[in-house]
Amino acid sequence: MPSGSIPILKIGPTLLASIQIDLHDTVVDAFQNDILLEIEKSGSRGLIIDISALESVDSYVARALANTAKMAKLMGTETVIVGMRPAVAATLVRMGYYMSGVRTALSLQEGLELQAELLKAAESE
């Protein structure tokens, strides 16, 4: 059961987390902890992080998201970030922050499709 302020839902084989609040240290720590525990418990191979509620993302949040994806990857789980707003994408590239290691998709639907592809590819390696 998640202890932090970001609820994590299980949708079939995938975990879905929707970020609605301003992220800071304790929230990020709890979030990352909860995700990893969930992965361990449920064996989910996919994680979708929905950031459609975020109007702005600074480098701290971008790093937090990227690190979360990396942690999940270590446990064999593929992460896709969905719902990025136009202004968020613009601000990140203007700052020079391209988040190159992170997969993104326009919507939950596409995120799930992309995840399925990624997992299939990972399996065939």
Partner 1 sequence: MAVAQTPSEAWEIRIDKEADIIAIRQLVRELTKQFKFDQFASAAMTTATSELSRNVWVHAKSGLARVSVLREGDRIGLEVVLVDHGPGIADLNRALAGGYSTANSLGLGLSGTRRLVDEFKIDTEPGRGTTIVIRKWKKEF
Partner 2 sequence: MELGIQPDYMKILKLDEDEVKRRFDFFELTADDFSRLTQLKSFADSCTHEITEGLYELIMAHPESRAFFPDGATLSRVKRMQNAYFLHLFSGTYDLNYVRDRLRVGAAHERIGMPPKLYLGAYRRYLALIHERLLVHFKGSEAEASKALATIRKIIFFDMALAFDTYIAAYLETMTRHQAAIRELSTPVIKVYDRILLLPIVGTVDTQRANQIMETVLVQVVEQQARVIIIDIAGVPVVDTKVADHILQTTAAVQLLGAQTVLTGISASVARTVIQLGVELTRVETRAKLSEGIEVALSIVGKKIASKKPKKESDDED
Residues forming contacts to partner 2 in the complex (CB under 8 A) are: 80-82, 84-87, 89-90, 92-94, 98-99, 103-107, 110-111, 114
The verdict on 55 binding partner 1 (CB under 8 A) reads yes
Are 62 and 100 in contact, with CB atoms under 8 Å apart? Answer: no
Q: Which does 70 bind (CB under 5 to 8 A by kind): partner 1, partner 2, none?
A: none
Q: Return the residues of window 95-114 that contact partner 1 according to CB under 8 A.
A: 95-97
The verdict on 56 binding partner 1 (CB under 8 A) reads yes
Among residues 94, 100, 120, 123, which is the contact residue for partner 1, using CB under 8 A?
94
CA 76 to chain centre: 14
Which residue, 99 or 105, is less far from partner 1 as judged by CB? 99
Residues 6+ apart with CB under 8 A from 47: 14, 15, 16, 17, 35, 39, 68, 69, 72, 77, 78, 79, 80
Q: Min. distance of Cβ 69 from partner 2 in angstroms?
A: 14
Locate the DSSP E strands across 19-77.
46-50
Are 114 and 105 in contact, with CB atoms under 8 Å apart? Answer: yes
Q: Min. distance of Cβ 123 from partner 2 in angstroms?
A: 22
Among residues 1, 25, 100, 120, which is the contact residue for partner 1, using CB under 8 A?
25
Other beta carbons less than 10 A from residue 58's beta carbon: 14
